Structures are given as structure tokens and as C-alpha cells.
Amino acid sequence: MSEDLKRDALSYHAEPTPGKISIELTTTAETLRDLSLAYSPGVAAPCREIAHDPDLAYRYTSKGNLVAVISNGTAVLGLGNLGSLASKPVMEGKALLFKRFAGINSIDIEVDTEDTQEFISTVSNIADTFGGINLEDIKAPECFEIESALIERCNIPVFHDDQHGTAIVTAAGLINALEIQGKCMEEAIITCLGAGSAAIACMRLLLTMGVRRENIFMLDRRGVIYDGREGVNVYKQEFVNHTDKRSLTDAIKGADVFIGLSGADLLTPAMLLSMADRPVVFACSNPDPEIKPELALATRDDLIIATGRSDYANQVNNVLGFPFIFRGALDVRATVINEEMKVAAVLALSALAREPVPDEVLAACEVEALEFGPNYIIPKPLDGRLLTRIAPAVARAAVDSGVARLPYPQNYLPTL
């Protein structure tokens, strides 16, 4: 990070008011009558109604449009285990994005424990306060157990965005990139550098989208995860491959797709040259990708490359997914965010990139043109159509798959 960016970031978070979120009143509180309705004695009326029928909390409180962003700070961005309090700026930032892009009220909660069961108990005990829970920046493999346990215990959507948000946006971009390159999911050979929560979730979703398990070569710090290798946890075991490949150099040779969720500058030009014709490279390590786009494009001119950065084409950014996924889930009061809803989000996001881009999006991105192709495989985060495409698709999938407690809204068109 440059000194200028660091200075501006610290100023942004400190001024004019510390932090990035606040609480605003949604009703009047100007008269004694208002106060008697808002608090004692009038507040007793909705309390009694909710005690009689808990679902009335959605009618008389803000629960239905309230998401908690919760972390213990054990995997903050790419910075590692900074602790719960140091994760607060990230969680506030996530709350800001919920409000800015989907009109969802959000509050950050930092849980000061690395004990998995204590974290699960803490979150499950407060879950009914909210309409949904977004888990964030929790290290693997604990994050898998935490999310699974909370989904089982809670009757509201629980979504670990580091896993599923990354997977949804990656899958949408990959569908389009492979089509542009004249390839398909079913035949693509994929090398995945990284075996943490995001990598495992990405590969799981790609299997749902049609990728063959035997065509996935996953690598962790010790190399290829192959049959018979010792020290492979139960989550990595899902992607054991019967292969004699051992290193990234071995695994990348002939691959159609490289997906990097690992670290900077790990994909060399020689490795890139060994890939199949018309390859797809998702170098998503942030802030420094596995290979810089300038170097990749100078090495070969038949590839499509995406990164996690906003200053390059084809940014794989979770903000393309989670606000709108939660919007759709909340609006039909879904109890979970299931596989059908994730796939619906993938397909809606993929389809939007193929549509003509409105002038207001071009202006916001400060470009003259955007057209479906090698440099535009996925929509831009400032595209206002994301809300009206993804949220309805997710809501419809929730209803159709039987996890919604409300019917699909008539003439549903979500707005901020």
C-alpha cells in the first residue's frame, strides 16, 4: 500500500465521524405521544404479539431487513489472524456495502474467541435478532464447521461470504470466459492453487456447475493433493486426485484454467506458457495477484485473465454477489441459502455480463465502452442492474426449492 493510499484510508475511516456506519430512526420521536408508543407503555403491545407469534417480529421490528456481519478476526483479508477488534473496519465495510448496494441494514459483531464451539454458541444465541448472518474472515478449517453448525441451529440464512461469495462470482466469470475461449465446464482441466475456504467452496460450486472432479488439481503449500498423501484434512480430501503430478509446474501443464487463491507471483511465465491453448487465468490473490496481468498478457496473447483488483479488467469481487443474494433471501424469508439459490445467482450474474451496458454504468466506471468479451466477462460492481437481476433470481430459487416462508412477491422489483 502506498503512503498516499494509507493516509487517505486512515482519514476516510476517521473523518468526519469515526467509522463507516450509523443507526438512524425510521419513525417519529418528537412528542410525548411518540415516546409513549416507541417505548413504555406502548411497546408492550408488540412485545405481547411477538411472544404469542414469533413471526410477528418481522412485522413489528427491523429483523426482516437486518443482517449481522460476524467475525472472530482469524483470517482478516490477506493479513492473517489480527484478532477480533482489528477486523472491525472490515466488518463495518461489509455493512456499508450491504446498505449501499442492496438497501439492507447491517451491524458488525466481533466475537473475541478462537474456540470454535464458543463462537458457534455465541452466534446461535443471538441469531434471532437478525434476518440473516454473514460470516466473514474466519480461518479454515474452522470456518467449515462453524458455518455448518450455525446453518443447522439457526432458522435464518447463514452465509460465509469468503467461501460462497467468492465461489459464485468465480463461477459466473468462468462460465463466460470459457465460452469466449470456445471451451466448456464439462471438459475444462482446472488447476486450483490454494486449498483454503474460498478455494474449496469454489471447486465445490464448479462441480455443481458441471466440472468433472477428476479434472480438478488442487494444491496447498505442500503441493498437489494426491491420493495417498499424508496430512490432508477432511475438507481437502474431497479433492484428492489420482495423479502422479506433485508440483504446480506439473499441475499447470496442459490446464485450461488456473484459479489462484493463494499468494503473489506464484504463477511464472514459463508455467503460463505450458497451459493449453486459449487458457483462462483467475489470479485472485489480493492485493498482489499470482501473476500480474501485464506480465501474463505479454507472455501470451490468447488468454483471458481476471484478478481481485479494481484497477484491472475482469475484477472478481464478492460485492457482485452477497448484497443481492441476501436481498432475495430476506424478501421471501428464506431459512437458508441453499445450492439452488447459489446457482441462480451464478446464472443471473453470468447473463448480465452479456447484456448491453448502460451509459450510466460506463460513466461510473469512467470508460467509453464495455462489451462482452475477453476484457469484460463479469459485470462491474457499480452496475445498478445487479440488484434487479440477482435478487429476483435468488428469491425465485428459494421459493421453488421450498426454503422460503413467503411466496414470491407479485411484480417483484427490489429497489434501494
Task: Give me the catalytic one of 88, 94, 292, 380.
Answer: 94
| 60 given a catalytic annotation | no
Q: Which of 6, 12, 20, 39 is catalytic?
A: 39
Is 39 a known active-site residue?
Answer: yes
Strands 223-224 and 216-220: antiparallel
- As annotated, the active-site residues are 39, 94
